[in-house]
Amino acid sequence: MRLLHAFILTVIAIAPLTSALDNGLGLTPVLGYNTWNAFYGSIDEDLVKGMVDLLVSSGLKKAGYEYFVIDDAWSNMARDDEGCISANSERFPSGMKSMSDYVHGKGLKFGMYSDAGERTCLGYPGSRDHEEVDAQAFAGWGVDFLKYDNCWAPASDWVIDRYTAMSKALNKTGRPIVYSMCDWGVGNPWLWAPQIANSWRTTGDVGPSWESLLRCLDNTIGLSRFAGPGGFNDPDMLEVGNPGLTEQEQRAMFGLWAILKSPLVIGTDLRKLSKAALKILTAEEVIAVNQDKLGVAGDLVYKEGPEEVYAGPLKDGSRAVALFNRHTSGTQYPISNITICWESIGLDPEEEADVRDLFAEKALGSFKGSWTGAVDLHDVRMVRITPKAARREHGEWRPWVQHRALHDAVRAQLPDRKAYTDFPLKLQRAQQQQARLTAATTVQ
Ligand X SMILES: *[C@@H]1O[C@H](CO)[C@@H](O)[C@H](O)[C@H]1NC(C)=O
For residue 176, state whether it binds ligand X (rule: CB under 6 A). yes
Beta carbon of residue 442, minimum distance to ligand X (angstroms, whole number):
8
Per-residue H/E/C for 239-291: CCCCCCCCHHHHHHHHHHHHHCCCCEEECCCHHHCCHHHHHHHCCHHHHHHHC
Nearest CA to 367 among 357, 352, 387?
A: 352
Letter string b/e over residues 162-172, b meaning 16 or more CB atoms within 10 A of that residue's CB: bbbbbbebbbe
Q: Count the site residues for ligand X by CB under 6 A.
A: 11
Beta carbon of residue 74, minimum distance to ligand X (angstroms, whole number):
23
Beta carbon of residue 421, minimum distance to ligand X (angstroms, whole number):
32
For residue 23, state whether it binds ligand X (rule: CB under 6 A). yes
Is residue 111 within 8 Å of 69, Cβ to Cβ? yes
Q: Using the rule CB under 6 A, which residue among 28, 58, 136, 171 binds ligand X? A: 171
Q: Which is nearer to ligand X, 120 or 370 (CB)?
A: 370
Alpha-carbon Rg for the chain in angstroms:
23
For residue 437, state whether it binds ligand X (rule: CB under 6 A). no
Is residue 240 within 8 Å of 223, Cβ to Cβ? no
Kind of pairing between the strands at 370-375 and 307-313: unpaired
Active site residue 149: yes
Ranked by CB distance to ligand X, the top (closest) residue is 23
For residue 333, state whether it binds ligand X (rule: CB under 6 A). yes
For residue 90, state whether it binds ligand X (rule: CB under 6 A). no
**How is 324-373 classified by DSSP, letter by letter?**
EE--S--SSS--EEEEEEGGGGT--TT-EEEEEETTTTEEEEEEESEEEE
Cα distance between residue 257 and residue 297, in whole Å: 10
Q: Using the rule CB under 6 A, which residue among 18, 22, 82, 331 binds ligand X? A: 22
Which member of 115, 134, 149, 408 is catalytic?
Answer: 149
DSSP-based three-state secondary structure for 357: strand
By CB under 6 A, what part of segment 362-391 binds ligand X?
Answer: 374
DSSP-based three-state secondary structure for 400: helix
Stretch that binds ligand X, among 84-92, 171-179, 243-251, 423-431 (CB under 6 A): 171-179
Q: Which is nearer to ligand X, 22 or 80 (CB)?
A: 22
For residue 331, state whether it binds ligand X (rule: CB under 6 A). no
Beta carbon of residue 24, minimum distance to ligand X (angstroms, whole number):
6
Helices 419-439 and 2-12 meet at what angle, rounded to 10? 140
By CB under 6 A, what part of segment 334-363 binds ligand X?
Answer: 335-337
Q: Which is nearer to ligand X, 246 or 337 (CB)?
A: 337
Q: Which is nearer to ligand X, 413 or 442 (CB)?
A: 442
Beta carbon of residue 200, minimum distance to ligand X (angstroms, whole number):
17
Beta carbon of residue 302, minimum distance to ligand X (angstroms, whole number):
17
Q: Using the rule CB under 6 A, which residue among 1, 77, 389, 443 binds ligand X? A: 443
Count the neighbouring beta carbons within 10 Å of the beta carbon of residue 192. 17
Q: Which is nearer to ligand X, 184 or 367 (CB)?
A: 367
Active site residue 115: no
**How is 405-429 classified by DSSP, letter by letter?**
HHHHHHHTTSTT--HHHHHHHHHHH
Cα distance between residue 96 and residue 69, in whole Å: 12
Stretch that binds ligand X, among 187-195, 200-208, 329-337, 359-367 (CB under 6 A): 329-337
For residue 420, state whether it binds ligand X (rule: CB under 6 A). no
Which member of 129, 157, 205, 354 is catalytic?
Answer: 205
Cα distance between residue 87 and residue 98, in whole Å: 10
Reported as type and span, the H/E element at residue 162 is: helix 159-173
Q: Binding marks (x or -) toward ligand X, 112..151, rule CB under 6 A?
A: ----------------------------------------
Cα distance between residue 20 and residue 134, in whole Å: 24
Q: Which residues are catalytic?
A: 149, 205
User: Which spans of this chain sit near ligand X (rule: CB under 6 A)?
Assistant: 22-23, 171, 174, 176, 333, 335-337, 374, 443
